Chain A
Amino acid sequence: MLGFLVRRIAYGLLILAGINLVTFVLFFKVNSPDDMARLQLGGKRVTPEAIEKWKAERGYDRPAFVNDGARGVATLTDTVFFDSSARMFAFDFGRADSGRDIAAEVARRAGPSLALALPVFIVGLGLSISLALGLAFFRGTYLDFWGVMVLVAMMSISALFFIVAGQYVMARVLQLVPISGFEGGADTWRFLLLPVAISVVARLGPEARFYRTLFLEEIGKDYVRTARSKGLSEPRVLFGHVLRNALIPILSNSVAFIPLLFMGSLITESFFSIPGLGNYLIEAIGAQDFAIVRAMVFIGSVLYIIGLILTDISYSWADPRIRLQ
């Protein structure tokens, strides 16, 4: 187990190094610091001196990979690549173009993101599983048929529509909840109610349908026939045997998403003006702030890799036949 963990974490670091290289090449080679400076300082009437000054402020005026001017280890460390990548592993992302410290900003915004994403994850998962189980219970009937039809129709509606229409009806016409905004403290739930409800509805279609197929696959297995032939009632078979076995892959798969909850959701946060990480990213894209985008790529990848490792662990925990090696 420990050996497995160490190996997986080492592999994760290897992946992160690769990602750093890829983003570095994307942001500093494909697109030179000169381009960035010109974009940030605006337009074509930028003097070369201004560009040099902009680059010097950020340390982008040094060589990319190998600094021949320096001595010893500094040949490799006193470079843009080492500076901008190595610091990331210590979660030091430098400053945004607005001058703020990115790491502090990320830490501040993770809270609101999580406040939205966590309820969506839990409620959504619970609702999808119950719905899927209900449909599996009534399989082959009209209820099942029309239920699946509704789910397919819901799958075909863009999440943007759910948000736009939901916001319009609930907040504007019925005025049940505030249209958008966020506030810490006791009143938070009033701002979160609508975005959470809409996000849950938006992912209900694909998830419930997928879980229904998983349940149906499980129902076709031999041990279920055995259970029935023992004379167990259908609800007992479904809730006592099928549910428990089908939950293993469902929950283990969901574990992968838990770390990513910190990243928040792009569109929901932006529509409801929730000051989370998703919103941060959209603002960064709008302002073309590459430092923030790179930092977010790194954080997102770290969380994804943690999710992968968690999935492996939860599989072996749920199913003792799987050995981690």
Chain B
Amino acid sequence: MKPVLLLTDLFVFALLAAGVLYIRHVRRTPQLLANWRLALQRPAGGVSAVILGLFLLVALTDSLHYRRAGPSDPSTGTRTWSVETRSALDLVLAPIAVSQERSYSRPLAWLGFRKETFERDGRVVRDFPRLKFGGAHLSDPPSQWAGDMARRASAGIAGAALAWMLAALSIVALLARRASERLGATIARIVRGRTRYPLRAMLLTACVLMLAIGAAASLSTGYHVLGTDRVGASVLVAAVKSIRTAIVIGTLTTLVVLPLAVALGVTAGYFRGWIDEAIQYLYTLLASIPDVLLIAAAVLLLQVKIDSNPALFETALERADARLFFLCLILGITSFTGLCRLVRGETMKLRELEYIQAAHAFGVRSARILARHILPNVAPIVLISTVMQFSGFVLAEAVLSYVGVGVDPQTASFGVMINTARLELAATPVIWWTLATAFVFMFLIVLSANVFADAVRDAFDPRSRLRSEP
């Protein structure tokens, strides 16, 4: 086995490291800490953080890539590596992924979706065929199916409930030790909602999520929980694999936007003069080109480059990954202009303030003024707009993939799923599960991101805090 670091993996882990550093920074800065506490103290903020955390975890697991060892060449003794790059998440999903059907099948079905002609008991019949995997263990499905479903589902739920209780208990125990009170008292406090953070709501959310995952995992041992697609692959696997794409687009694009917008915005607003003119020209120019067009043009060009240099990439996944990375890059370049304008305006306001004028008068160097006075003060608006943009990027991916300039068609993504679902809806009878799955997953990600963003904005923007609390 050899670990593989894809381009996007590299940046995902870099972002993770940056996130850890940021948390350390927050813990040392009382004002920031207070704001973040305020954001998480609201039930909406806490709950959405739990859901987002789960999605992030999935995305991170899916970013640990490796290639399995192939047969070694006996003459030279060199190892060859499998052309297929897999991730840690693939390992978890492998049992479902290998049990492929021949074509479409409904969620939890034991029969195929379309009638086929096949031989049964020596006669050629035209009927719905039994699935290769879904419900294959049942000898008489119509009578056994409901019982089997209930058994598997309840086993999964029971297991998940047990796991949740263990996790919840250890959290409670930790809290009780910290507050040096009895375990019972801590539990009572949580149940009554008398904790600093909305632990009751957060634990309940975790419970619901874990039960759903438990039931789905247990049912997956005998069925395709969310059905299969045209080639018989599990829709559940496709959806779970799409999470990473969505999260990568949402976060990596931010990584492009942030330095560009902050550096250019602060420079323009602070130094003014011809620098300001040049930067304004640059972002007006970029804003003038309709986003989709610039993205379309750039992605088309990239595709030409990739197609004409096939030797650049070792595996198909690396090629698809390069396209995903490039998409983040170009999406970031088209969307940094708004934040840049915001930062510039804020900097212009700040530099006229008396304490910065005073710093000037004392002969403090510009670099120091920028670092000590300007940057910390533009940080809140940068943070707010960053968090607000995340869900927009996730939604944009779906549209771009539909237009044909999004991710590589082989990358699992919600845009690709919706795109295929569109044709499936025209079939009779309707194939609804791909669309429904993509809808539910995307809705969960985007909604929790939106709610979380609102909580952060309310905590960091004093104006909106005043507005929502009278």
Name A residues whose Cβ lies closer than 8 Å to a Cβ of B.
14-16, 18-19, 22-23, 26-27, 30-31, 35-36, 38-39, 140, 152-153, 155-161, 164-165, 168, 172, 213, 216-217, 220, 260, 263, 266-267, 270-271, 281-282, 285-286, 288, 290, 293-294, 296-297, 300-301, 304-305, 308
Contact = CB atoms under 8 A, between A and B. Distances in A.
A15 B443 contact: no
B403 A267 contact: yes
A282 B404 contact: yes
22 contacts: A15-B281, A16-B288, A18-B281, A26-B301, A152-B451, A153-B443, A153-B447, A158-B395, A158-B399, A159-B399, A165-B435, A168-B430, A263-B290, A267-B399, A267-B402, A270-B403, A286-B404, A290-B297, A293-B296, A296-B293, A301-B290, A304-B287
B439 interface: yes
B285 A285 contact: no
A152 B454 contact: yes
Interface stretch (B25-33, B93-101, B417-425): B417-425
Q: B298, B307, B403, B425: which has the most chain A beta carbons within 10 Å?
A: B403
A288 B418 contact: no
Contacts of A172: 425
Given A220-B467, A282-B404, A296-B293, A156 B447 contact: yes
Contacts of B307: 39
Given A158-B399, A158-B414, 15 more contacts: A23-B297, A27-B297, A35-B305, A39-B304, A155-B391, A157-B446, A158-B446, A164-B425, A168-B425, A213-B464, A281-B292, A285-B300, A293-B297, A297-B293, A308-B284
Contacts of B450: 152, 155-156
A217 B288 contact: no
B281 A14 contact: yes
A217 B463 CA distance: 9
B295 to A, nearest CB: 10
A121 B389 CA distance: 23
Given A35-B304, A220-B467, A301-B289, A26 B297 contact: yes
A267 B454 CA distance: 28
Contact of A160 (B296, B300, B418, B447): B418
Contact of A31 (B281, B285, B293, B305): B305
Interface string B305-337: 101100000000000000000000000000000
A19 B285 contact: yes
B356 interface: no
B258 interface: no
A141 B182 CA distance: 40
A216 to B, nearest CB: 6
Contacts of A217: 463, 467
A260 B422 CA distance: 28
B398 A158 contact: yes
A270 B446 CA distance: 24
Contact of A293 (B293, B435, B447, B454): B293
B403 A285 contact: yes
B442 interface: yes
Given A19-B289, A267-B399, A301-B290, A290 B425 contact: no
A213 B422 CA distance: 36
A152 B447 contact: yes
A216 B464 CA distance: 10
Contact of A26 (B298, B391, B439): B298
Nearest to B426: A172
B293 A15 contact: no
A281 B301 contact: no
A156 B390 CA distance: 12
Contacts of B288: 15-16, 19, 300-301, 304-305
Nearest to A34: B308
Given A19-B288, A152-B454, A267-B403, A31 B446 contact: no
B294 interface: yes
Given A14-B281, A153-B447, A297 B421 contact: no
Contacts of B425: 164, 168, 172
B456 interface: no
A271 B308 CA distance: 32
B405 interface: yes
Given A285-B404, A290-B300, A157 B443 contact: yes
Given A152-B450, A304-B288, A164 B435 contact: yes
Interface in B386-407: 391, 395, 398-399, 402-405
Nearest to A38: B308
A156 B298 CA distance: 27
B286 to A, nearest CB: 9
Contacts of B297: 23, 26-27, 290, 293-294, 297
A160 B438 CA distance: 11
Given A152-B451, A286-B404, A160 B398 contact: yes
Nearest to A307: B288
Given A19-B288, A281-B296, A156 B403 contact: no
A158 B416 CA distance: 13
B281 A288 contact: no
Interface string B231-248: 000000000000000000
Contacts of B435: 161, 164-165
Contacts of B418: 158, 160-161, 164
Interface in B105-143: none
* A158, A168, A220, A296: residue with the most chain B Cβ atoms closer than 10 Å: A158
A35 B308 CA distance: 8
Contacts of B430: 168
A267 B402 CA distance: 8
Contacts of B284: 15, 308
Contacts of B395: 158-159
A26 B286 CA distance: 14
A164 B451 CA distance: 25
A267 B404 CA distance: 11
Contacts of B405: 285
Contacts of B285: 15, 18-19, 22
A168 B430 CA distance: 10
A164 B296 contact: no
Contacts of A164: 418, 421-422, 425, 435
A16 B422 CA distance: 38
A141 B402 CA distance: 40
